[in-house]
Structure 1
Amino acid sequence: MGTGVIISGAGPVGLMLAGELRLAGVDVTVYEKLSGPSGESRGVGFTRRAAEVFHQRGLLDRLGEIEIGRQGHFGGVRIDFEMLEDNHFGIRGVPQYRIEEVLEAWVGELGLSVQRGCEVTGFRETAEGVTALVETPGGSIEHTADYLVGCDGGRSTIRKAAGIAFPGREATRGMYVADVVGCDIPTRAIGERVPGGMVMAIRLEDDVDRIIIHPDGVPPHDDRSRLTFAEVADSWQSLTGQSLHHAEARWVSAFTNATRQAAEYRRGRVFLCGDSTHIHIPAGAQGLSVGVQDAVNLGWKLAADLQGWAPQGLLDTYHSERHPVGARLVRNTLAQSSLYLTGEEMEPLRGIMRELVTFPDAARHLAEMVSGLDVSYEVGDGSHRLLGRRMPDRELKRADGSPTRVAELLHAARGLLIHSADHTEAARTAAGWSDRVDAVAATWAPSADAEDGQGAVDSVLIRPDGHVVWTSPGGGELADALPRWFGPREHSARR
């Protein structure tokens, strides 16, 4: 059969998925059409939930010094995250190429080398597997595996070859993006409306600024291969009166606000992940962040299937759980675009929004939407507020007195049962799933309940992606949750 999973695309999403699969021992091949890292960076940070996901795999510290964004916004309306009890602070100043470097080094440590200069151009599917058609520097090859995942961007070849519809809205306006050296311009961190459009400027590093220009209307083209820095500099000068023509561009690109979402995230043995499932105007680094979460949701489920213990229908939950998240992403970016990029006619609504976000409940609702902390899945019966939601990174003390945290216990990408020392029944129940679920006796830090506002909890069962599927109290029976998410007590491995 060849490898278990073929991944088309080695951006952050494809690399994250590859790492998830390798942690589970799955054979993976990643094909990337570019011969080397592009050095480009559409995003310069990620959301709070994406930060938690990276932290769950021990990757956050590898990104080096990071800047915590303590103020957020929704369509340019500032939100004070400081007044909210949970941590919604996003991460700024980390360009996408740096994230890719860290993820590629990580998968390399896990024994995987990206096959660069190789493009998946199509596939054939049978009941037994899927055969990818790959153009390599040495010629055309065919590669058969159990599954194929398209992480190949908004113009996804895999999505088109699979015949998956990509409905949405056509572009009505566009934007230019550039990383510019030596421009010496003031920071406009969340943008500034000016006659004829909107401009942003963010300092990336010494003498390097990211500029973003939203002129009214659609730019002449969104083909980055034909865009010149002179065009970008002309647009900036027309909106601000400042000349950047003397500066040097590291990277330029163009995008539009075309907004689409794939109708299906799975068709047979083919899956889509990240930008291949949704395109939208950049807003708060949500695209990359949601894509990384797509990968973490899918990875452990594919591994469960390949290892033979996946409960019936587990692979289908990838679409049922992540498609609504993508739909919400599309809706909120459209709303932000309308609020942010339109003219003075929208100012009355902006004023009302500024009033609303001074109320904690309204601010929390918007902050959770942008930060990704509002994602909740249907996980079965139970009344506890944590069920279906992500598990906050609480501090714990093991039975032997040593300190740890939830994120540290999730580094291996396995199921996790955290139970109190006197809750031995839970440990005994989970013993039959010890090949898939780690059981840890621990006590919660005293301030934990107050920190996340989710209510007291004694024991929790957490999926590899960090979402809670059982609690004590309020979570039903552990003996029901374990087989629902981690398969039968006994199973026969396929490999």
Structure 2
Amino acid sequence: MKTIIAGAGPTGLLLAGDLAAAGADVTVLERRAEESNLTRAFAVHARTLELLDARGIAEEVIATGTKLSRMRLFNRIGVDFAALPSRFPFVLITPQYHVERILEERAVKAGARIVRGTEVTGLRQDERGVEVHTKAGTHAADYAVGADGAHSGVRHALGLEFPGRAVVRSLMLADVRLARPPQDVISVSAVGTAFAFVAPFGDGWYRIFAWNREHQVPDSTPLTLEEVRETTERAFGRDFGIGECRWLSRFHSDERQVERYRTGRVFLAGDAAHVHSPAGGQGMNTGLQDAANLGWKLAATAAGWAPTGLLDSYHDERHAVGRLVLRTSGGIIRLALLESRAARLGRDVLTGLALHVPAVLRRATGTISGVGIYYPHAPRTADADLGGTRLYELLRAGRHVLLGPAVPPPGYADRLVCAAYDRYILVRPDGYTAWTGTAGEVAVALRTHLGDPRHPADTIS
């Protein structure tokens, strides 16, 4: 199977690596001629780290950044991730370009090709395949994926609307050094006329997002460090000694989501399918999880064993998650930007009280971290010690994992890894539970989720 992926950001690179590792012919078309050192994304949440662990690269990514187990909202409300039911009970702060580098190395090593300086200008598809057009020529494939950002050429070529609206205009972004940094946590504060967010990269640099209600200008308006300094001081009451700056940018934040993630043989993922405010740091994470969901389903289709409707389940599962992320990030940013003092006081009191209720705290941290997000018929499967190995280490084969007390029926060696366990659990390659049941139900479960066995003589590996 040949797949064309538009976009060599984190979403496209994770997907390319997964497909190439499964034996697919993968070409990634990237509009940028060169890699960029600039990035807006910087947070890698627990669920994403679990998915990277299932690919054997979590520790490499963690080594590039700083672990933060708590964040502070509105300068006084603490949110603690230390109790997350995960091997990664923290937020990793690292620039997106580190994540991209590691994902690209994995994809290329697996056999994916990356073509830079190539922008999608159109496409055509029929029941046999897809043609992706660029200024340099046409690429034919069985499937195509648009992971090419908010201004997706693939989405435009499909003629799909991207409904939504701007949430915040004239956001300021700066990477700076601080002479008097805040405590080593993500800090967020807002007053009626200003909002600011500060997070450490762990190497002496800090990321600042800032917004000034009284100075709303077009994205093209030049941004100065003094404007960032004044807005940060207004929001926090101090500017933390902002000094050297390596990047300044002004942008606006939209809330948008395409209605369908699949159109025939073409799929949309990441910012091409959904965009939202940076509140909660969920953008890159949601795109990576889109890729993890889609990759194994395309691989199963290429291998010829995908059950009917498997590719359609990508939209069914991920569109609902995208909608949840829009609501979550939108709610956080709207709370941060409340104008009246009375409203902000009420926000602080009610939010502080709510987060002292264990169930509310678990839901909040679970949603932001992704650990609490699940699909209607497929809950997240936590990592498990299997006596000498872990579940997520077994997932590195890119196959389903069947845990159980006895050997299952033969014929699934090409799509299944087995391990002894005290009960039967069938885990999908993306770390979600496909089925739990009894010994008498195993054969039916395997046929339902993995199709017919190859040959009765096959053995399980």
Normalised TM-score (structure 2): 0.90
Partner of 2:13: 15
Aligned pair 1:390/2:385, yes or no?
no
For the Cα contact (< 8 Å) 1:81–1:88, is it kept in 2?
no
Partner of 2:400: 415
Partner of 1:94: 94
For the Cα contact (< 8 Å) 1:261–1:326, is it kept in 2?
yes
Partner of 2:291: 295
- The amino acid across from 1:396 in the alignment is L
Partner of 1:71: 70
> In the superposition, relative to structure 1, how do residues 433 and 243 fare at CA in structure 2: closer, same or farther (>3 Å)?
closer
SS of equivalent to 1:133: strand
Aligned pair 1:428/2:387, yes or no?
no
Partner of 2:48: 50
Aligned pair 1:234/2:227, yes or no?
yes
Q: CA deviation at 1:33?
A: 1.0
C-alpha deviations, 1:313-368, integer Å up to 9, x for none? 11000000110000100111111111122232232133112101111111111111
- The amino acid across from 2:450 in the alignment is F
Partner of 1:274: 270
- The amino acid across from 1:325 in the alignment is V
- What does 1:24-35 align with in structure 2 at a 5 Å threshold? 24-35=22-33
- What does 1:330-369 align with in structure 2 at a 5 Å threshold? 330-343=326-339, 344=341, 345-369=343-367
Partner of 2:459: none
Partner of 1:116: 116
For the Cα contact (< 8 Å) 2:212–2:231, is it kept in 1?
no
Distance 1:195 1:75 in 2: 12
Q: CA deviation at 1:148?
A: 0.9
> In the superposition, relative to structure 1, how do residues 332 and 107 fare at CA in structure 2: closer, same or farther (>3 Å)?
same
Distance 1:73 1:482 in 2: 46
Partner of 1:451: none
For the Cα contact (< 8 Å) 2:408–2:443, is it kept in 1?
no
Partner of 1:484: 448
Partner of 1:465: 430
Q: Which range is displaced more, 50-59 or 211-220? A: 211-220
Aligned pair 1:209/2:209, yes or no?
no
> In the superposition, relative to structure 1, how do residues 53 and 377 fare at CA in structure 2: closer, same or farther (>3 Å)?
same
Distance 1:390 1:23 in 2: 23
Partner of 1:200: 197
Distance 1:377 1:187 in 2: 38
- The amino acid across from 1:212 in the alignment is F
SS of equivalent to 2:149: coil
- The amino acid across from 2:57 in the alignment is L
- The amino acid across from 2:212 in the alignment is P
Aligned pair 1:155/2:148, yes or no?
no
Distance 1:69 1:239 in 2: 21
Q: Which range is displaced more, 66-75 or 34-43? A: 66-75
> In the superposition, relative to structure 1, how do residues 134 and 45 fare at CA in structure 2: closer, same or farther (>3 Å)?
same
Q: CA deviation at 1:197?
A: 0.7
C-alpha deviations, 1:18-74, integer Å up to 9, x for none? 011011100000010111211112122211100100011001112225433222467
What is the root-mean-square deviation of aligned Cα atoms in Å? 2.5
Partner of 2:181: 186
Distance 2:33 2:241 in 1: 30
> In the superposition, relative to structure 1, how do residues 283 and 218 fare at CA in structure 2: closer, same or farther (>3 Å)?
same
Q: CA deviation at 1:243?
A: 8.1
C-alpha deviations, 1:219-247, integer Å up to 9, x for none? 4223xxx46452x5324325527789995
Q: How many residues align?
A: 446
SS of equivalent to 1:260: strand
C-alpha deviations, 1:135-162, integer Å up to 9, x for none? 3xxxx20111011100011111111211
Q: Alignment partner for residue 324 of structure 2, among 319, 328, 353?
A: 328
Identity %: 35
> In the superposition, relative to structure 1, how do residues 393 and 428 fare at CA in structure 2: closer, same or farther (>3 Å)?
closer
> In the superposition, relative to structure 1, how do residues 411 and 480 fare at CA in structure 2: closer, same or farther (>3 Å)?
same
Q: Which range is displaced more, 403-412 or 251-260? A: 251-260
Partner of 1:454: none
Distance 1:198 1:294 in 2: 30
Normalised TM-score (structure 1): 0.84
> In the superposition, relative to structure 1, how do residues 153 and 351 fare at CA in structure 2: closer, same or farther (>3 Å)?
same
Q: CA deviation at 1:292?
A: 0.5
Distance 1:476 1:319 in 2: 32
For the Cα contact (< 8 Å) 2:258–2:273, is it kept in 1?
yes
> In the superposition, relative to structure 1, how do residues 72 and 86 fare at CA in structure 2: closer, same or farther (>3 Å)?
farther
Q: CA deviation at 1:87?
A: 6.1
> In the superposition, relative to structure 1, how do residues 153 and 65 fare at CA in structure 2: closer, same or farther (>3 Å)?
closer
Q: Which range is displaced more, 30-39 or 74-83? A: 74-83
Distance 2:201 2:370 in 1: 24
Partner of 1:406: 391
For the Cα contact (< 8 Å) 2:46–2:86, is it kept in 1?
no
> In the superposition, relative to structure 1, how do residues 154 and 74 fare at CA in structure 2: closer, same or farther (>3 Å)?
farther
- The amino acid across from 2:7 in the alignment is G
Distance 1:316 1:96 in 2: 30
Q: CA deviation at 1:174?
A: 3.8
Q: CA deviation at 1:125?
A: 1.1
Q: Flag structure 2 segments of 5+ consecutive residues without an equivalent.
A: 456-461
- The amino acid across from 2:91 in the alignment is I
Q: Alignment partner for residue 246 of structure 2, among 246, 250, 253?
A: 250
Q: CA deviation at 1:213?
A: 0.6
Distance 1:368 1:307 in 2: 34
For the Cα contact (< 8 Å) 1:194–1:240, is it kept in 2?
no
For the Cα contact (< 8 Å) 1:88–1:368, is it kept in 2?
no
Distance 2:380 2:25 in 1: 28
Aligned pair 1:144/2:140, yes or no?
yes
Partner of 1:437: 416
For the Cα contact (< 8 Å) 2:73–2:189, is it kept in 1?
no
- The amino acid across from 2:121 in the alignment is T
C-alpha deviations, 1:243-294, integer Å up to 9, x for none? 8999543223233232011100001111000111111111222111111010
> In the superposition, relative to structure 1, how do residues 82 and 296 fare at CA in structure 2: closer, same or farther (>3 Å)?
closer
Distance 1:283 1:269 in 2: 33
Distance 2:154 2:180 in 1: 41
Distance 1:172 1:67 in 2: 28
- What does 1:125-144 align with in structure 2 at a 5 Å threshold? 125-135=125-135, 140-144=136-140
For the Cα contact (< 8 Å) 2:400–2:417, is it kept in 1?
yes
